[in-house]
Amino acid sequence: MSRYQTIKHSVLAIAIGSLITACGGGGGGSSSPSTPFTPKTVSGVAVDFYLKDSTVTFDDCNGVSTITGAQGTFSFTTLANCTSSALTVRGGTDIVTGQAFTGTLKVKKTDLQNFASGKLVASPLTSLEYYLGSADLQTILNNLGITSVTAANISTFDPVTTGTAKEMAAVFVLQQLATQIEDSLQAVSKGDGSAALTQDAATKIAFESIVSILKNQNTALFNANGDLQTTVLANIVDSAVSTAETVIADPSTAIDTSVTDQIQTNITTVSDIVQSVTANGTGADLQSALVADQAKLNEIKENLKTPVYSDFSLGHYSLADIKASTAAAPLNIDLGGLQAALSAKFKLDNTKSELTDTIKLGFKVVATRGSLTENMDISISNLRITFNTAGDIISATVPKDAVITLQSSLKGIQQTEFVMLNDKPLEIQAGAVSLYSIISNTPTLQGYYNQYFNQLAVGDVIATTAYVLPITYVIDPSLGLGTGTFGGFAGASVTGYLKLN
């Protein structure tokens, strides 16, 4: 055996002997017992103003969560497999405004087992840190006018108890801005009716857009007096919408730019109201002053509502009448009225500026005479509707390249698609969009329409189902509309039963 092999084997024997000894073998010794895990309770608080009944999820702990108390506080006792985690806060209610919290708070991954100083605070500032890191965080804090905290202690900074009134106002307005962006982006639908963005994606876009603008030097969201800088606000919102369109990457999904006006108007108004309450004292003083001023709180609530479709009707009939109709108890109508039934009226609530939305619209008409039925389907791939500040329709256009499709079971009627070569303004009748105005200006569609409706007779029962898919804003669930797929999209639907007389 060579000298090199002898040395190698000796080293190996020593290593094996050491391993046996460490494991308690050979020499009869015993190993040192491992240190047992000792749970630690960590307390925290969620701040918009304080959020009660919110769910605090420990993201890295397989769904472990807890609920905030009446003053936004929560506690968590670490587990052997959950000693370090990022946090997400959603749901619950802001105890000052009384509004449901529809936004998101984030806290970066934190060593909970060794968290030693005070309460862990989840706030809009920790959300900024979560999406940015600490590199430019101090610049952003400066641009928010927040000097009571540094990037080093942001996770323990409670703006209510530690911040000034001006700083608390900035934190509150910051979160309302993020929430308005998040809610608006979550309302957007793809062309097939599916949600364009998840809540996580919308939250990410909202905070990263804020970060991308405010990390630049001398780009303050609030001036020295605490007044909101509208140009900076506009840049943030524009950035969010632009980023969202890039992320969605669906040509049929157009987020109308009027949504930016709505957000800017809401946030500017809310900021002005909060600043008018008190510019002095602590964050707690601001909170107390707002709680004592119900009129200003009501103003804030009104300006934090996002646009929503609050009513829908066909022809001259209300939604309640349409939903109450049945094949056995139809609504009476004459042939002229049937043309009016191919019109839709929408109402958009919570509008603070003139807004435009893109809507996909379809009608399924099924006429029944005894055992005989004949159907006709009409759909429009793209309808651009503008609403005034009262939420009423003031104009509607079928834009260039929109596709109108008609098909029927009636013999002699072929399925046809008509592509708009130019923008086509539609007639608005009593605030309703008339689909018949499109048909009557397209000879091919007019011919098929006449061929179908000329077959109808007194006594026929006609079931008309409307399918609606707004792209930018949502339909209020309380309307109780059904859902259905039609013309390549999934949208809200309602059926009305009409009888020719």
Beta strand 482-486 with 308-314: parallel, antiparallel or unpaired? unpaired
Measured CA to CA in angstroms, residue 147 lies from 93, 168, 232, 282, 438 at distances of 28, 11, 20, 13, 60
Beta strand 393-398 with 416-419: parallel, antiparallel or unpaired? unpaired
* Same domain? 113 vs 222: yes
Position 69 scores a pLDDT of: 97
CB 377 within 8 A of CB 406: yes
Position 33 scores a pLDDT of: 52
HEC sequence for 422-440: CCEECCEECCEEECHHHHC
Interior angle at CA 181, CA 175 and CA 184, nearest 5: 135
Position 441 scores a pLDDT of: 75
Q: How far apart are CA 153 and CA 120, in angstroms?
A: 10
The answer to whether position 20 is within a domain reads no
The answer to whether position 494 is within a domain reads yes
Position 116 scores a pLDDT of: 81
* Same domain? 202 vs 56: yes
Position 431 scores a pLDDT of: 83
Q: How far apart are CA 138 and CA 157, in angstroms?
A: 14
Look up the pTM and report it.
0.85
HEC sequence for 61-88: CCCCEEECCCCCEEEEECECCECEEEEE
- Start-to-end CA span in the chain (Å): 114
* Same domain? 199 vs 280: yes
* Same domain? 93 vs 193: yes
Evaluate the CA torsion angle 3, 4, 5, 6 in order and state its sign. Answer: positive
End of a domain among 247, 274, 306? 306
* Same domain? 380 vs 429: yes
Digit-by-digit pLDDT tens for the chain (501 residues) are: 443 344 334 443 433 344 333 334 433 333 345 678 899 999 999 999 999 999 999 999 998 999 999 999 999 999 999 999 999 999 999 999 999 999 999 999 999 999 987 799 999 999 999 999 667 899 999 999 998 998 888 999 999 999 999 999 999 999 999 999 999 999 999 988 899 999 999 999 999 999 999 998 789 999 888 899 999 999 999 999 999 999 999 887 878 888 999 999 999 999 999 989 876 899 999 999 999 999 999 999 999 999 999 998 887 788 999 999 999 999 988 877 777 777 888 899 999 889 999 999 998 999 998 888 989 898 899 999 999 999 999 999 999 999 988 888 887 777 788 898 999 888 887 788 887 777 787 788 888 888 888 888 889 999 989 999 999 999 999 999 999 999 889 999 999 999 988
Q: Is 486 exposed, middle or buried, given 0-12, 13-18 or 19+ CB atoms closer than 10 A?
A: buried
* Same domain? 315 vs 265: no
DSSP SS3 for 196? coil
End of a domain among 306, 341, 356? 306
* Same domain? 123 vs 144: yes
443, containing H or E segment: helix 443-453
* Same domain? 257 vs 329: no
Position 413 scores a pLDDT of: 77
* Same domain? 293 vs 175: yes
Position 436 scores a pLDDT of: 78
The answer to whether position 300 is within a domain reads yes
The answer to whether position 207 is within a domain reads yes
Measured CA to CA in angstroms, residue 478 lies from 308, 309, 311, 312, 481 at distances of 11, 10, 10, 12, 8
Position 439 scores a pLDDT of: 79
Range of the domain at 371: 308-500
CB 473 within 8 A of CB 308: yes
Domain count, the chain: 2
* Same domain? 285 vs 312: no
